[in-house]
Structure 1
Amino acid sequence: MNQIFVVNSGSSSIKYQLIDVETEEVALSGLIERIGEPGSATPDHETGMRQLLDKVGSLQNIIAVGHRVVHGGSLFDSATLVTDEVESQIHELSALAPLHNPANLQGIRAAKKALPDVPQVAVFDTAFHQTLPSAAYTYAIDAELAAKHQVRRYGFHGTSHKYVSEQAAIFLHRPLAQLKTIVLHLGNGASVAAIDGGVSVETSMGMTPLEGLVMGTRSGDVDPAVLIHLHRQAGLDFDELDTLLNRHSGLLGLTGNGDMRDVQDAASRGDAKAEAALAVYRHRVRRYIGAYIAHLGGLDALVFTAGVGENNVLLRRRTLAGLEFLGISIDHDRNELVSKKARFISPEGSPVAVLVIPTNEELEIARQAHALVS
C-alpha cells in the first residue's frame, strides 16, 4: 500500500489525512489543535507531528508528505519538492501571507524532522492561477513600485478550483479542454474562478485572500479610499484596518455573526440585518458570474462547491434567480436534494449545466504529490 500523508498546518493546529494513492480512500484523518497554547499537551509543531505520526502507526507505506502552502507568489506554478531553497522562498513569501506561510513552513519543518527520508511536497493555493493573463493579474498602480513589492493578483483556493473543474468535466463526460466553467468556492472564505479549457483565466481573490466575494469575516471588494477615509476620520491605524477588513467584516461585520448558517436562520425569522447581508452576499456573487461569462465568451458549467456552496439550498436558488436569459436556471427538486455526491441542479437540457460538486483539496494535494514523486 502506497500512502500520501497530507498536512495542512495552521498557526496553532495541524490538520491531516493519510490517503491511499491506489484507491484514493482516506485511511486516517484528524486534527491537532491548540498547539503552543497555555496548558496544551502540544508545545510546538514538532511535538504535534510526532503525536499524530504515533497515531498513524506504520510509516513504511508513506511515500510522500503533501503540504498545503497558501502563497507561492509568482515563483511556483505547480507542486514542488521541498528543498532548502524552496523553504527559503516560502519564508520570503511570508510578506505576502503573514498569517499563513509561516505556519505552513512550521508544518514542513516538523514533518522533515519526523520523516527525514520521505519526500516533502509543497502544493500552493496560488499555483493554479499562475495562468492568468497579465491583463487579469495587473493592478493599475505605479508599475515599478508594483514590481518591486510583488503587487499583483495571485488568486487562492487554486487547489479546490482545479479539482472541482476537473471533476465537472468527468461528471459531464466532456473533455476538460472544451469546457468553459465558473467555479464558486463558497465557504467561510469564498472565491470564484473562470476556467477555460482547464486553465484559470480570472479569479476574484487578489494579492491576498481579502479581495473579491463577501466572506464570513472578510470584506471582499472595497474602495481603497475607504481605508484612507477611516484612517483620517476614525483614526484607525494600519493594524486596526487590517483587523477590520480581515476579521470584523463580511457577514460578521454586517450582522454580528460570521456563520452563514446562523445568518440564514436569522433571516428566516425576519431579521432585517441578516436579510440585507445576504442580499449583499448574493449581489456580489452575481456580479462576478456576469463578468466571468463575458471573460469566457460563454459558459458550459456553473459549479457550486465548499461548505456554503454545497449545502445552502436557498442561497443557490436565490443567487441564480432571474439568470435564465444567460441559460442559467435551477430545478427545484434537484436543488433540494441532500447528497454528498456530484449532481445536477439545473433542469434537463439546460444550456448551462449548474452543478454541485463537493471539493476535496486533500485528495488533490495527494494526487499532485504522488504525481511528482512517482
Structure 2
Amino acid sequence: MSAILVINSGSSSLKYSLIDVELGHELAAGLVERIGQETSPVQHKVRPAPTTGAAPTMLGATYESERPIADHRAAFAVMLEQFAEHGPSLETTPPAAVGHRVVHGGARFFAPTLIDADVERNIDELAVLAPLHNPANLAGIRAARAVFADVPHVAVFDTAFHQTLPAAAFTYAIDAELAREHRVRRYGFHGTSHQFVSESAAAFLGRDLAGLRQLVFHLGNGASVTAIDGGRSVETSMGLTPLEGLVMGTRSGDIDPAALLHLARRAGYSIDELDALLNSRSGLKGLAGRSDMRDILAGREAGEEASTLAFDVYIHRLRAYAGSYIAQLGGVDVISFTAGVGENAAAVRAEAMATLGFAGVEIDHDRNAERGRGIRRISTDDSRVTVLVVPTNEELQIARQTAELL
C-alpha cells in the first residue's frame, strides 16, 4: 500500500501528514492556521522516503509562508500546492486512502469507518455534542473527498476507543429517560492517543497487551487520563464533552454543577457566558492568567503565588484520578505520560507520582529529569509499577487504523 494522507481539520486550522504505514515513517507534514482570518501561516515539512529498514529520522526541510485563506476548502487547496511545490508529489503518487480525525462519534461509531454520505450526515448530526470540533472535521472531509474522489476515506473517532466503557462508568446519575433522549453520557476523548500509547507501552516492554493494567495520562492543553485493562478502555476522565476531568490549559475540568447555577443566579451569567468561562477562561489560565505549563513552572520557580497554586491544583487532580483509577483496576502495572506536558514536564510527572508509593510506584529522579525523543522508562528498576514517557503519534495511529480497515 502506498502512503496514507491523514487529515486533522480543526475549527480554524488544517493539520496534515503523509505517512508510509509499512515503514511507520512520516514522509511530509504540514499545518495551516488561522483559517478565515486576515492572514494564515502555512508550514510544510518534508523528508525523503526512507529505505526499508532505515532508522526513523526527523522531518528535514521546512517551508513557511503566509497568505489569506478563507475556508477549509481553500486551506486544502493550499495543502495540495505545498505538496506540488515541495513534495512528495500527490499527482505522481496519490495517497492510497485518506484518514480523517473526527472528535465525536457518539455511541454510533465504535471503530474506523468508511466514509459515505450517510456517515457524513451522522457526523453532522453529532455536532450538537461537539459544536467546536465536528463541523470543522466535516469541512475537512468534504474538501478532501472533493479532491480525492477515487480513493477511500476513513473516519477515525476520538471517542471510539472508549466504547468499551462499562455502563457503570459511562452512565450519569440523572433522570434515565432524559439522558437517553438527549444522549447524555460519558463518551471520553483522546481515544486515538490513549490507544496508541497503551499499545506502544506494551510493545516496548515486550508484554502481552491483554495482560496489562495501564493508566495513560494524556497531558497537553487538553488533558485526560484513561484506565486500560487488557487493551480496553474501562474508565476515562473526559465525559459528554472534553470539559470534564483534569485541570487543563483553559478548561476547568471537574466542578460542582451547582457552582454554575450559583453564577447564573447571583452573577447573571448566561449559558453562553458560562460555556466561555469553563472552556476558555478557566484551568491554568483562570488560576494564574497563563495557560502554558512552561509559564506556570517558571512562575512557580520564581515564587509566584498564583502559579504555585495553579500547579498544586493541577497535581492534586492528577493524584486524585490516579488513586481512583488504580482502585477501579485493582492495581496497576504500567503508567504512561504523553502529549506536550506529559512528555516534557519532569516536575509534573514527579509530583503526580510522589504519593503513589503505596501502589508500587517508585520514580528514578535522574531518569525522569533526562530528556529524550523516544519511549523511556522513568521508574526505578525495583519499582513494581513501570512508569514510562511515551511520545504520542495520533497521525500514525489514524494511518494504521485506516490501513487495517482497508
SS at match of 1:23: coil
Q: What corresponds to 1:31 in structure 2?
A: 31
Distance 1:287 1:351 in 2: 20
Which digits, 9 at most, give the CA deviation of each residue in 1:78-118, with x for residues without a partner?
11010100000000000000000000000000001111111
What is the CA-CA distance between 1:315 and the residue it aligns to?
1.2
The number of aligned residues is: 373
Q: Per the alignment, in what secondary structure is the counterpart of residue 289 of structure 1? A: helix
Tell me the amino acid that sits aligned with residue 238 of structure 1: I
Tell me the distance in 2 between the aligned counterparts of 1:241 and 1:119.
41
Partner of 1:2: 2
What runs of 5+ residues in structure 2 fail to find an aligned partner? 40-66, 84-88
The correspondence of residues 266-277 of structure 1 with structure 2, limited to 5 A, is 266-277=299-310
Match for residue 139 of structure 1? 172
Query: Which amino acid letter does the alignment assign opposite residue 250 of structure 1?
Result: G
Match of 2:225 in 1: 192
Q: Does 1:45 align with 2:72?
A: yes
Which secondary structure state, in structure 2, belongs to the residue aligned with residue 185 of structure 1? Answer: strand
| Cross-structure match for 2:15 | 15
C-alpha separation in 2, matches of 1:99 and 1:37:
17
SS at match of 2:125: helix
The answer as to 2:359 corresponding to 1:326 is yes
How far, CA to CA, are the matches of 2:4 and 2:90 in structure 1? 13
| 233, 239, 256: which one aligns with 1:223 | 256
Q: Which residue of 2 aligns with 1:183?
A: 216
Q: Residues of 2 paired with 1:108 and 1:61: CA distance?
A: 17
2:380 aligned with 1:347, yes or no?
yes
Deviation at 1:322, TM superposition (A): 2.7
**Pairwise mapping of residues 1-374 of structure 1 onto structure 2 (< 5 A)?**
2-38=2-38, 40-56=67-83, 57-59=89-91, 60-373=93-406
Distance 2:373 2:237 in 1: 26
Residue type of the alignment partner of 1:58: L
Q: CA deviation at 1:44?
A: 1.8
Report how far residue 260 of structure 1 moved: 0.5
Instruction: Identify the residue that residue 45 of structure 2 maps to in structure 1.
Output: none
Specify the SS of the correspondent of 2:244. Answer: coil
Q: If the length of structure 2 is used for normalisation, what is the TM-score?
A: 0.91
Task: Give the counterpart letter for 2:280 in structure 1.
Answer: R
Alpha-carbon separation, structure 1, partners of 2:285 and 2:214: 30
Distance in 2 of aligned mates of 1:51 and 1:354: 42
Tell me, what secondary structure is at the counterpart of 1:121? strand
Q: Is the 8 A contact 2:253 2:283 kept in 1?
A: yes
What per-residue deviation string (whole Å, max 9, x for no partner) do you get for residues 18-61 of structure 1? 00122111111011122222355322211211221222223434
Give secondary structure in 2 for the equivalent of 1:62.
Answer: coil
Conservation of the 8 A alpha-carbon contact between 2:170 and 2:187: yes
Secondary structure at the aligned position of 2:373 is classed as coil
Matches of 1:234 and 1:244 in 2, distance apart? 13
Render the CA deviation track for 1:234-282: whole Å, top value 9, x for unaligned: 0000000000000000000000001110011000000011111111000
**Counterparts of 1:96 and 1:202, CA distance in 2:** 20
Letter in 2 for 1:37: Q
Query: If the length of structure 1 is used for normalisation, what is the TM-score?
Result: 0.98
1:136 deviates by 0.2
- Paired with 1:273 and 1:329, the residues of 2 have a C-alpha distance of 30
Moved more, 151-160 or 113-122: 113-122
**Which residue type is aligned with residue 35 of structure 1?**
I
Distance 2:20 2:255 in 1: 43
- Of 323-332 and 172-181, deviating more is 323-332
Q: Give the conservation status (yes or no) of the 8 Å contact 2:220–2:341.
A: yes
Mapped partners of 2:355, 2:397: distance in 1? 34
Measure the CA separation in 2 of the matches of 1:33 and 1:341: 27
